[in-house]
Amino acid sequence: MDFELTTEQRAWRDEIRQFLAENVTPALLRELAQLGSEARGPELREFRRKVGERGWYGLGWPKEFGGLGRGAIDQHMLHTECLHAGVPGPDFTVTSMAPMIMRYGTEQNKAEFLPGIARGEIFAAIGYSEPSAGTDLASLRTRAELDGDEWVINGSKIWNSFAHSATHEWLLVRTDRDAPKHKGLSVIMVPIDTPGIDVRPLTTWADWRINETFFVDVRVPKSNLIGEVNQGWKYVTGALDLERGAMLSSGDLRREYELLLDFCKRHTLDGVRPVEHADVRSKLAALAADIEVARLMGMAAASRLEMGEIPSTLISAEKIFLTELRQRLADYGTQILGAYGQLHWENARAPFGGAMERLYRFAPPGRFGGGTNEVIRDIIAQRGYGMPNYGRASAVAPRKGAETKVGN
């Protein structure tokens, strides 16, 4: 295995970095810091427009769908470099939902949604979990009933991140109440401004706004159904695998680590530079090694995706490793910085903009976003090693074999 980037990959990395250096402005970074998960302000909209103009949201899409036909490795590198620069990379609408529309959607689905996604104009919230359907997602109760040429939707979703700022909901609903629970589900693309939708805020301790969203007699065109009726479980399991892969970039960890390392070398706490302590050097070395492992895992997964697989076992293992590494970096960083590491980013004395305090509060959701790490360990056991389920509910049904081909 060759761990070095090719000449073409290095050129692509440099092109991304040049674009980010020119377009990631102090105003954009301030907006992201101030608004957090609600950041859909003018600076970010302008940045997304510039990315869309270059066609980079459709970077890995086939050319017949308006994409650039580049591979998964190039897309992974774009996401990594964006996170390292402190700005959002391609979101789940681009990386998870669009591939399902390409694979399973109707011709009208493709014409109606893909161009807007590629331009960065369509941004969808993920409407899966409900108050009584989280890990056992297939027990959801939100229903859609056909009335002439419209779907009528009633129910609610929770942990509905970005519903307050998205243009659409990628909504998993029950369309056949008599079918087995995994068989009677469908996906409908619902414009968020449709009458009858009520988005109510929920806020985590990381100042991350999630939402509970209610649907009361919400009517959308029949054509907004993605693909075929009652096939939603297949689309969602594929999208979840791709979602976990999209979450897995070490770019933000590399940035936070570089800031921490620089601080430990150049500044003093209680009259001593932190790197003069052996335990600090040991922690920093362990983090550096693990971040490099995370980078290589990400490239390995991207390589498998480029070969036409959804390497679910590898992606699942990487998701656990990276999200727990993110928590470990936050733990070590706040330990090294002591009380200074607990200062909020708005405090002028917070080291490097309060990054460690922010990371400490932000890290926990990563361990349950896209599926809890505990359940994902079960998925690895079942898919990767053929171990029995013993009837435990899972957000993703086990499949035979460790990996699957894209679209299977």
| Residue 404 pLDDT grade (very low, low, confident, very high; cuts 50, 70, 90) | very low
Domain layout of the chain by residue ranges: 7-90, 125-236, 248-405
Q: What integer pLDDT is reported at residue 396 of this predicted model?
A: 44
DSSP H/E element including 218: strand 209-221
CATH number for region 248-405:
1.20.140.10
For the stretch 364-400, pLDDT in tens is 878 887 778 888 898 889 888 888 876 554 444 444 4
DSSP letter for each residue of 36-52: GGG--SHHHHHHHHHHH
Of 240, 6, 238, 264, nearest in space to 105 by CA: 238
Q: How many CB atoms lie within 10 A of CB 165?
A: 19
Tokens for 90, please give them. Answer: 């391609």
State the average pLDDT for the chain.
Answer: 87
159 DSSP 8-state letter: S
Stretch 80-97: mean pLDDT: 90
The answer to whether 180 and 157 are in contact (CB under 8 A) is: no
Same fold, 7-90 and 248-405: no
Q: Which residues are catalytic?
A: 243
More confident residue, 42 or 401: 42
Which whole number is the average pLDDT over 109-116? Answer: 93
Distance separating alpha carbons of residues 364 and 361, to the nearest angstrom: 7
As its CATH architecture, domain 125-236 has Beta Barrel (2.40)
Q: Check if CATH label 3.30.70.260 holds for domain 7-90.
A: no
pLDDT band at 118 (very low <50, low <70, confident <90, very high): confident
